[in-house]
Each structure stands twice: as C-alpha cells, then as structure tokens.
Structure 1
Amino acid sequence: MQTTKLGNTDVTISAIGLGGMPMSLSSRPPESQAIEVIHRALDLGVTLIDTADSYCKDESDKHHNERLITKALQQYKGDTSQVTVATKGGLMRPNGDWTRNGNPKHLRQTIQVSFEVLGGNKPIDVWQYHSPDPDYTIEEALIPAKEAVEVGKIRFVGVSNFSVEQIKQARDVVEIVSVQNQYNPWHRQPEFDGVLEYCEQEGLMFLPWSPLGGSRRVSRLEDIPAIAHLAKEKDVSVYAIVLAWLRAKSPCIVPIPGASKVASIEDSVRSLNVTLSASEIQQVDQAST
C-alpha cells in the first residue's frame, strides 16, 4: 500500500481511504456485508476510514456509521493500531434531511458521544467540523474541538466545506490538519477558489468528498468517451481513472471513495497503480466540462 502523511503530522496513512457513508444511509447493506467491506479494506492496507456522526438514516440513528466502524475494528483479527478514523460533527439528520448545527453546546455533546462510540479509550484520531453554520462564528463552533484536544478526547482537528478565509479563521482557534471539500471532475471548485493551493502551501491534507461525482454521475461514467477510453486502454475501471485523476491533481490529495461492496474497495485500491500523463489528465478535465 502506498502511504502519505496526515497533513503536517508524523502520522502515516494509506494513500487512499475508505468512505463509510454508503454503509449507513437508508440504502445501507446488511451489517455483515458492511463489516466485510471494512475488513477487506484493512486487508488491502487501507488505514484511513472516513465517517461522521450524521452518517445514518435520521436523528434516531445518529452515530450509526461510527458504531459500525468500531465494531468492525474490534472484530478484525489483524493489527488495527495504525488505523486512523476521521469523523465529523455539525450536521443533523431530521427526517433524513441534512441541516447544519454549529451550536457549541451541540458540538460539545456530539464530540463526547463520538469519543465514546469510537471506543472511549483514546482520543478521536481526527474530528472535523462538518460544515460551517452561518448562525455561529467559526471560533464559537471550534472552541469545543479545541477544548476536546486539550483534555485528550481529540488528537487532530480538520474542517469540511470551508473556504480559504474560513480555514484561516479556524487555524486561529485550533491547529488544523485536513480539509474535506467536494472535488471531482464535475465539481472542480477547489482548483479555482484557492483551497487546494492553500492546502499544498500549508501542508494540509485535502480529502475530496464525492470523488466519483455522486450516485447520479457514477452510473454514467461509462458513457463519457474520454474516461471510458482511458479505462479500456489501461485495463482498469472508469472509477479507477477518476480516482487516479484526483491523486494526480495534487500530492496533498487523499481520495476517500465510499464503498458498500467488497468489489468497490478492491477497485478503489487498484486505482493506486494507475498513472496518468499530463495529456491524459487534460482529457479528463475536458471530458467533464
């Protein structure tokens, strides 16, 4: 497994992660299948697992994905000491919808629950503020995370769906190691809004969420001639081409594709063997415009 560093830290992580979200939404697979996916990822050398308190069906199901990952790690027969679990807090799931909640009282509470659900015997590896809530300042929302770092409930802090200015505000409150924003061939805003460049300059890890473009686009990747041609030429899947494209964009990028089937995480790991030339990267760029 190829590896990289978690931002400016001395922690080593796999060059590709496992996104846990598909294993906990309303279309979730049976628990036994989800655990099999996590175990297969670990077998393949994946040491970064991305989750969130809101990866669940609704509020009554909160923290489902964190519980699932904890159970899978506990049942795994191999060594899990090098696994980094990155979770998030700050989104709510009323009736299955997605809403923001940056209330410091709520964030303090959900950090505590995540800490307990993820084992409660060591700090949360990475806790990320899921999305800035305009009703609260960045400082107000991140004070609970800073407090949790100080008392040993969180090791590292990250942010998600943040602009460069918001990242700077966050770093005035607490040390930040990662940024998780949407990034894929159809949503390339991080290339143009300065976030990707800022992460490179400051040594922050960039985790692209929805790396394959979401469920609607994933099902249509085969229909994009340039991507389909590259996949055929390199004897890999169209998904592997997109993940390779992402990794080629910046050394600070670690894709976290979701998976609910063993074949999916196996395919994602195979993407690490795909190298794209500058002209091939450009072909993907142009195919998605």
Structure 2
Amino acid sequence: MKYRTLGSTTVSAIGLGAMPLSIEHRPDEERAVATIHAALDAGVTLIDTADSYHWHADERGHNELLIARALARYGGDTSHVLVATKGGRGRPGDGSWTVTGTPAHLKDAAEASRKRLGVEAIGLYQVHKPDPDVPWAESVGALRDLLDAGTIRAAGVSNVTTGQISEAHAILGVSLVSVQNEFSPATRDAEPALELSTRLGLAFLPWSPLGGISRSSLDGPSGTTSAGTTSAGTASAGTAFHHIAAEHGVSPQQIALAWLLARSPAVIPIPGSSRPASIQDSAGATEIELKAAELAQLDAALPKCHIDAPSPR
C-alpha cells in the first residue's frame, strides 16, 4: 500500500467507501465486517461513511455503528485508521435522499456521529451536500464551530462546485482538508474541483471512482460494481481500460483507480465495496505505475463531460 496526505494525516492512497455495506442490497453483517477487516489487512487506513448510509427510515447511523463494531472486533491496531463521516443528508426510507444544512442540524448530527463512532473527536467531518435553502457560509460556519468545540479534528466538503470550495476555504483556512465529489472515467464533471483542490493542498476524495467500468466477478449484488454504482456507463469490455488491464494482468477496476491516482497527488479514491475480494483488488491499484502513453490512451478513450456541475448524491 502507498500513502498520501489528508490534512496533517497520512492515509492509504486508496480508501474504503463503506456505503454499500448499509444501503439497499447490503450484505449480512458477517460479510460486511469481513470486508472492513479485509480493507485493514490490505493496508487501507481511510474509511468513508455518513450518518445517512442506511436503508430503512429508523436506521440513521447504521454504517457508522457497523464500522465501530468492525474496528472493535479487529485483531490488530486500528489507532491509525481515519474514519471520515458526513452529515446533512437524510433517507426517509423510500429510496430518496433529503438535504438539511442548517448549522443546528449539522452540529447535532456531528455529535450523534461522534457517539456512534465511539471517539472523542471525529477525525474528518464533511458537509454531505450544500443545502440550497441555507446560505453556504452558514453551513460551513457550523464546521468552524465544531472544530472550535473539539467535536471534530478536521473539516471537509462534499458534492460542491469550485465556488463553494473557495468560499469554504476562505472561512476555514487550513482546517479545510478535503473535497469529496463524484469522479470516475465516466463522470469527470468535477475536473475543475480537482484542479482547485490540488492548488489549495486539499485531498480530493472521488466517490464512485469506478463508474463506467463494466461488471466483473468482483462486483457486488444486483448489478452494482465494487464502487456501489451501476455498471452501465461509457466503459464496457473491450475499452482501453480493459485492454491495458489485460496487458498488466490486473482487473480493469485497478486500472481505473491507477488512472485516478495518476491525475494528481491530491487524489485518494474511496471505492465502495461489499465483498472482501473487491476491496483487496482495489487496494492493489496503488502498486500499478501507468506509463505516459497508457495514460494518454486512456484519456483519449474518455467521453466528454459537463464541467463543474453539482453532483446528484
């Protein structure tokens, strides 16, 4: 495993997106815990979660509680593991997502997350998505208050535009350490956000980083990829990702993650996984060194995308 910088912390260059372990079509707890343990065994030290990663309406915090149990049951040292969580979204239980970015809600949500995770302070807390009904400066200001109160150690923002990143950075300064947006071979709308994050020294955490890569034996149930996203997309068997994967003797998912890692030292992908094999495969991407010609070939095969569009999740 190779490592990258997230604020003042060193974390694995590949993280674990834990959402598939708690939402629809989730595995049973035994397999979910085994997946988290497999990530730790592979050297993963960043686990991404949110209080809204659950299925039924009365399950808020399901994923956070699951991670806390898995870490407690792990046989090795977990003191170096950074659990990053998010607040500001909800799931009523009908499959939809809500957004609430008021300072009062974010502060209450962070405290509840802290208790579920069983920590003195949350290592990284992120506003899950800007609330169009709440001034962005107010939501970000709640992060400042949480930092001052010692509830969280570092702050991040998710599903944001470059303007929102700049505003958050002006308010939080060095306490802002991360941006989490959708970014993958199929979805590159956040390219400007990645470029700005790199310039500002912020870690860029792509969610659903395997979007557009076709199904394989590593995929989760019901036609989802190991990123927790549907396999429909621009990439299918026979694309440049698959050809280069065959040349390296690895999975196309590993090539997609290696391509992401090569885009910027700020990038720390967080592929979602619901099986031990999928996160073990993803972790191996840090050992792949793509040549300049291979990167050019991959870039040339990608479709055009809208730029700096807000993310739906």
Alignment TM-score, normalising by the size of structure 1: 0.94
Task: Name the residue aligned to 1:20.
Answer: 18
For 1:171 and 1:255, how far apart are their aligned partners in 2?
A: 21
Aligned CA distance change for structure 1 residues 58 and 141 (closer, same or farther; 3 Å): farther
Task: Name the residue aligned to 1:100.
Answer: 99
CA contact (8 A) 2:209 2:271 kept: yes
From 256, 274, 282, give the equivalent of 2:270.
Answer: 256
Task: Name the residue aligned to 2:87.
Answer: 89
From 126, 137, 140, give the equivalent of 2:138.
Answer: 140
CA contact (8 A) 2:186 2:235 kept: no
Q: Which has the higher helix share?
A: 1
For 1:269 and 1:218, how far apart are their aligned partners in 2?
A: 23
Aligned counterparts, 1:157-236, within 5 A: 157-174=155-172, 175-191=175-191, 194-213=192-211, 215-217=229-231, 221-236=235-250
For 1:40 and 1:220, how far apart are their aligned partners in 2?
A: 30
For 2:105 and 2:194, how far apart are their aligned partners in 1?
A: 30
Aligned CA distance change for structure 1 residues 219 and 138 (closer, same or farther; 3 Å): closer
Quick one: which amino acid aligns to residue 60 of structure 1? Answer: D
Quick one: which amino acid aligns to residue 277 of structure 2? Answer: A
For 1:110 and 1:258, how far apart are their aligned partners in 2?
A: 23
For 2:238 and 2:207, how far apart are their aligned partners in 1?
A: 21
For 2:73 and 2:122, how far apart are their aligned partners in 1?
A: 19
CA contact (8 A) 2:2 2:287 kept: no
Deviation digits for residues 58-101 of structure 1 (CA, Å, limit 9, x no counterpart): 33111111000000011111000100001011111112211211
For 2:248 and 2:42, how far apart are their aligned partners in 1?
A: 21
CA contact (8 A) 1:102 1:132 kept: yes
- SS in structure 2 at match of 1:68: helix
Aligned CA distance change for structure 1 residues 220 and 200 (closer, same or farther; 3 Å): closer
Deviation digits for residues 109-166 of structure 1 (CA, Å, limit 9, x no counterpart): 11111011010x4210000001101100112112322222112110000000111111
CA contact (8 A) 1:212 1:218 kept: no
Deviation digits for residues 173-212 of structure 1 (CA, Å, limit 9, x no counterpart): 3231000011111111222xx2112111111000001100
CA positional deviation for 1:220? 8.0
For 2:232 and 2:276, how far apart are their aligned partners in 1?
A: 17
CA contact (8 A) 2:54 2:63 kept: yes
- SS in structure 2 at match of 1:61: coil
CA contact (8 A) 2:186 2:233 kept: no
CA contact (8 A) 1:4 1:13 kept: yes
CA positional deviation for 1:44? 1.3
Q: Which runs of 5+ in 1 are unaligned?
A: none
For 1:163 and 1:222, how far apart are their aligned partners in 2?
A: 29
RMSD between superposed Cα atoms in Å: 1.5
Quick one: which amino acid aligns to residue 184 of structure 2? Answer: N
Q: Which runs of 5+ in 2 are unaligned?
A: 212-227, 304-313
For 2:289 and 2:133, how far apart are their aligned partners in 1?
A: 44
CA positional deviation for 1:104? 1.9
Aligned CA distance change for structure 1 residues 268 and 218 (closer, same or farther; 3 Å): farther
CA contact (8 A) 2:99 2:131 kept: yes
CA contact (8 A) 1:129 1:158 kept: yes
For 1:140 and 1:59, how far apart are their aligned partners in 2?
A: 27
Q: Between Structure 1 and Structure 2, how many residues are aligned?
A: 284
Single out whichever of 219-228 and 250-259 deviates more from structure 2: 219-228
Aligned CA distance change for structure 1 residues 58 and 282 (closer, same or farther; 3 Å): farther
